[in-house]
Amino acid sequence: MRRWIGKAGRRWLLLFHRWAGIATGLFFALWIGSGLVMLYVPFPALTPPERLARLAPIAWDQFGVSPDAALAAGGVAGVPAAFALEMRGDEPIYRITGRDGARATVSGRNGARLGPVDAEAALRLAAGDRPGARVEPVGRDQWTVTARYDPLRPFHKVALGDPAGTELYVSQVTGEIALDTTRSERAWNWLGSVPHWIYLTPLRTRAELWRTVLLWLSGFAALGALSGLAIGIWRLRLRHRYARGAVTPYRGLARWHHLFGLAGGLGLGAFILSGWISMNPNRWFASSAPPSGLRAAYTGTPGPLGVAIHQIRDRAGPETRSVRFTVIGGRWWVFADAPDGPCPVVADGSSFPDTSTLAAAAAAAIPDGRLRATQHLVAYDAYWYPHGTDPRPLPILRLRFDDPAATWLHIDPRDGTILQRLDHSGRINRWLFNAPHRLDLPVLTGRPTLRAAAQWLLNLLAAGIAVTGIVAGWRRLSRSPRRPVHPASASVQPTSRSVPR
| Cα–Cα dist 89/102, whole Å | 22
Q: Region 405-422: what's the mean pLDDT?
A: 94
Quickly state the pLDDT bin for 316 (edges 50, 70, 90).
confident
Residue 468 parent element (H or E): helix 448-478
CB 498 within 8 A of CB 249: yes
User: For residue 496, what pLDDT is reported?
Assistant: 41
Residue 160 carries which side chain, given as an amino acid letter?
L
Whether pLDDT at 69 is above 70: yes
Residues 184 and 374: their CA atoms lie apart, in Å, by 44
Q: How far apart are CA 450 and CA 473, in angstroms?
A: 34
What's the CA gap between 401 and 274, in Å, rounded?
Answer: 28
Strand residues in 149-271 grouped as ranges (E):
155-159, 167-171, 177-181
Do the Cβ atoms of 479 and 466 come closer than 8 Å? Answer: no
CA–CA separation, 95 and 103 (whole Å): 7
pLDDT at 501 exceeding the cut of 80 = no
Average of pLDDT values for 343-372?
Answer: 81
Helix axes 252-277, 207-235, angle to 10 degrees: 140
| 351 vs 348: CA distance, rounded Å | 9
Beta sheet of 396-401, edge-to-edge order: 371-377, 396-401, 408-411, 418-422
Helices 448-478/252-277 angle, 10° precision:
120
Look at residue 258 and tell me whether its pLDDT is greater than 50.
Answer: yes
Q: Are the CB atoms for 369 and 404 separated by under 8 Å?
A: yes
Q: What value does the mean pLDDT of the chain take?
A: 90
In contact, 332 and 302? CB cutoff 8 Å = yes
Per-residue pLDDT of 360-393, as tens digits, reads 999 999 999 999 999 999 999 999 998 776 788 9
Within 8 A by CB and 6+ apart from 101, the residues are 81, 150, 151
